[in-house]
Structure formats: structure tokens, C-alpha cells
Structure 1
């Protein structure tokens, strides 16, 4: 099946008891058993829920994964990957990284003896130079948040596997519609389902997919033991949102391209970060491993000050000032003061994240209205 068909049908069957075409919301905490251990495949809802099962199978199909697990948030999914490691293990991670991931790695898991090293992965040779026998995982974000850096998943995976390490890719910015990391050699794909997959700013959820049964068994054990699972109502909402994922992503990409070019030609804008530009670093890699360039854009104005950024942010009318991304409505954010505030300023600056950077999540509104809003806010 092609993507659009999988979005509507993969892993989903009409309800056998009623014929309902939509997966029912199984709002239950437990299941009646015919005898001790004799049941219909369901014992307790933390372990399994039919609505969640359908969603896990559906997202796994979109990522060309044999196995999928859903979690209460993107961070709980990320945490599950790190929980498979042990004290003394080392992780190499992207230099330009979502602030919540950086906080989880450095402020929680480093205390348990796991070492994290951050490097600019746009050049795979930099990973080759520091990987060692203690490296068990390479954590990749591509495109990165918020500078839209592009990392060659295939090359990073080859380096990791040569040294016996696994590769996990945060695929949130691209969505399964634009990129499938497992096809490029990654071992694990992670999503903040909250963003493009759910797409309507009404759910918090995470996902992990893999083709390795041992990895999936480890994820399943942690998912059940730690209990950070989504409820059936949220799973139902995501299943509904996925049915239009391909349509939404097409509009996100179309609007993103128009707005990226508008900003680049604006006299008050100094720099625009969008992987669709031919001179964007690793643009050729983006063309190779992605099916489009997405609706995420970051930019800096010529007056490169936090005061100018705050002034511009206060003027938006259609773009809502809020954290998160990937919803049908357009959002604008200030990474250094919002999503990446947990990263020390000196580390942000080294990575290129200045206090004046503004990040856009371009929605699916009429692009002319979005351009008009940008125009009045910037000028």
C-alpha cells in the first residue's frame, strides 16, 4: 500500500462486534477473564488496549516498522530508549538538539552514569572521530530543532553499526510522510506524536518504532513496567488525525516553501533556515532522504537583538505565540526563551542558536493571509 492508503487503513479493521468503521474507544482499565490467565489477549489496560494496539500498528506501518509502541509523551518515548542503556554506556547526540531532550540527557540520565557527547553531525567524520567501544547509541535529530540542520542518516548508521552501536532518529520535524529513518539504516525511529502525526494540537503522545524484535521487546517491557502509556481517548484522536496526515503535510510543505522564500527576500531579514534552499547545508542529503522540506522555518532579522525578536513576536496575529509545532494552525516561537531555555546560553550560542532566532511552524491556512501577518509583524 502507498502512504495515503496506509494512513487510512494500515493496522485498522472494522470492529468485529458492530462493524463500526472507526476503531472504538475501549475506555476500560481491566478485562474479564474466563479463568486465571485465560483471556482474549487483554489482561490490564496499562499492558494492552485495543485502541492503542490499532494506533501502534498504524504508525508502525507508516514508518515501515515491524513493531511500534506508543507512550504518554515524546519525552517518555525518548526516556524509554535511554533506559535500555546501563551505567558506563556512552551516547553521541546531535549538537543542535531539542531542549527537552538535552535536559533529559544531561540533568537526569547523566546522574545515573550514562555519558552524553554532543557533536555537529552534519559532518559524519566528527562522529567517526569520537565513537568508541563504550558508545552504545547515536541519537540523531534531522531536521534539527530549531536550526533545521540535516544529518545523513545512512552514513551515521553505517558508522554506528561498524562500531556495534545503535542509531535512534527523532523524526518529529519530518513526520513519516517526509522521511522514514528505518529505510536509511536507523535501528529506532522516535516521534513526538503530539506534533505532525496527531496534527491538531489536542494530544500529547510519543512513539517508538523498530524492525528489531529484541529492541521492541525491551521497549515493551519498559512501557509496561514504567506505565507511561497514552489513554484510549488520545489514541482515538490520533487515529483520526492520521487519516489526513498526507493532505496536511502537503499543505505544510507548500506553505512552508512560499514563506521561506518570502522571508529570504525580505529586506529586514538577515538569515532564513529552511532545508529546501539549494545553499542550505546538506541540502543534497535532504533531497536524498526526504520527500519534501516541511513547514518548519527559523529566521533572524537584520537587527540581531533579543529586543527586536520580542518586539516582532508581540505583533503576530495569525501566528500564535506558543510552544509546540506541527498543528494545523501556524505557531511562532522564541527557542532560546521557550523550547530551548533549559540549554545553557553558552552551549546554545556555540550551536548557532542566538537569542534573536524566531521559529515558525507553518500551518495549513491560506498562505496569503500568513504572508500578510508576517509582513505586518516584521515591518
Structure 2
């Protein structure tokens, strides 16, 4: 009503799991490098707009800045779109399995994943989204950095990496307190961001189980 343009990053959900324009969003950006590409082998971005006027402004700016993805990159993005729906189904199934197991671990204080029924954001997620992707976070109980390093360094199926959305599972430590500005971060311990890939979830759980053994022994 105030005339503000609403911009949203929809990378986590992709267009298949959340429809931003149906919820009043004007401009949607996505890192197509992630789920749309799906194989960790391309760098692409997407901007989608709801009006012709916005499209012309984006087109002018892109031309002025010389933005132009390569044809091979576009091919890889189109390739990924062909399997996006089946990959997301597997990502969600695996992520829910692993997240539910993590909730039972004494080393874990919280699991941050809206697809879990007891998550504070579950009702909003259920109302607006048609599914969940494979990215979520956990908060560990208060442990040392050395213990976290011992856990992560020996993982076999989880690589250390920042660019999630491919077929493989990733894990990376994070400290939201360092970047929070609007609210204070008061978690019990360090955070871990996990991307659950397309592997057998039993293999992933076994890998994390051994990691927790190293964490508690450190």
C-alpha cells in the first residue's frame, strides 16, 4: 500500500516450493548456481519480475553492466531444471530423516528446519510452501572450537563447502552472532549449517554419528 517494491531471495525454496508472485513479491532473485544447476558445476543467477516496467529496468541495467552468462552455463542451468522436481523430493526426504535424527542427539540443542512439526516456523511454512529443501541448521550445546573441528575434520560423506544446492552433502560451521544486527543471537553453542544431498541417509547419519563421537572425545 505504501508503494514499496518487495524483493525476495527464493533460492532455498526454488520456484517449485514457493511462488513469490502469489504473495505480493515484485522482484525475485535466485542463485541458480544452487538447486537449479544442481550439480555444483555452474555459476548462474536469476532475476524474475512481476511487471513489464520492472523488466525493462532490469534489462537496461544488465545491458549497461555487460551482464551475459555463457551459453554453456545456460545449458547447464537448463539441464538442471529437467531434474529439479525429483531432486528436491529426495533432498526433502533425506533432510527430514537426518534432521529428526539430529533432534534426538544429546550434543544438539536445536534443529532449525521449518519442515519439522515442532519448529517455531512450521505453521507459516506449511501455509505458504509446498515443500522444503535440504538446507537447515543446528545449534550445538556449548563446546569448544577444537571439539567442533575434530567432528568436522573426519567426516567422510559431508564435504566442507559454502555453495550448497548440489547433489552432495555439505557442512560448515557458522557464528550468526558475528553478523546479526537487528536482534541478538543468544544460542547455547556454536552453529552448523548442513546441506543434505542425495546420498543414502543412513550413510549420512552414520557419518555424523562418528563425528559426534569425535566431538565428545575432544
Q: Deviations over 1:111-149 (max 9, x none)?
A: xxxxxxxxxxxxxxxxxxxxxxxxxxxxxxxxxxxxxxx
Q: Name which structure has the greater RCO, CA cutoff 8 Å, separation 6+.
A: 2
**Aligned-pair distance for 1:188?**
1.1
In the alignment, structure 1 residue 366 sits paired with structure 2 residue 200: yes
Choose 194-203 or 294-303, whichever is displaced more: 294-303
- The answer on whether the counterparts of 1:306 and 1:355 sit within 8 Å (CA) in structure 2 is no
In the alignment, structure 1 residue 309 sits paired with structure 2 residue 171: no
- What is the number of residues matched between the two proteins? 213
**Aligned-pair distance for 1:276?**
1.3
2:41 corresponding residue in structure 1: 202
- The answer on whether the counterparts of 2:139 and 2:187 sit within 8 Å (CA) in structure 1 is no
1:267 corresponding residue in structure 2: 106
CA distance in 2, matches of 1:346, 1:167: 22
Q: Deviations over 1:265-289 (max 9, x none)?
A: 1122111111012232231110011
2:51 to 187, 193, 212: 212
In the alignment, structure 1 residue 286 sits paired with structure 2 residue 125: yes
Q: Deviations over 1:23-53 (max 9, x none)?
A: xxxxxxxxxxxxxxxxxxxxxxxxxxxxxxx
**Aligned-pair distance for 1:359?**
0.5
**What secondary structure is seen at the aligned counterpart in 1 of 2:136?**
strand
- The answer on whether the counterparts of 2:141 and 2:188 sit within 8 Å (CA) in structure 1 is no
In the alignment, structure 1 residue 163 sits paired with structure 2 residue 2: yes
CA distance in 2, matches of 1:279, 1:376: 26
CA distance in 2, matches of 1:267, 1:302: 8
1:193 corresponding residue in structure 2: 32
Change (3 A) 1:353 1:345: farther
Structure 1 gap ranges (5+):
1-161
Structure 2 gap ranges (5+):
214-218
Larger Rg, first or second structure (1 or 2): 1
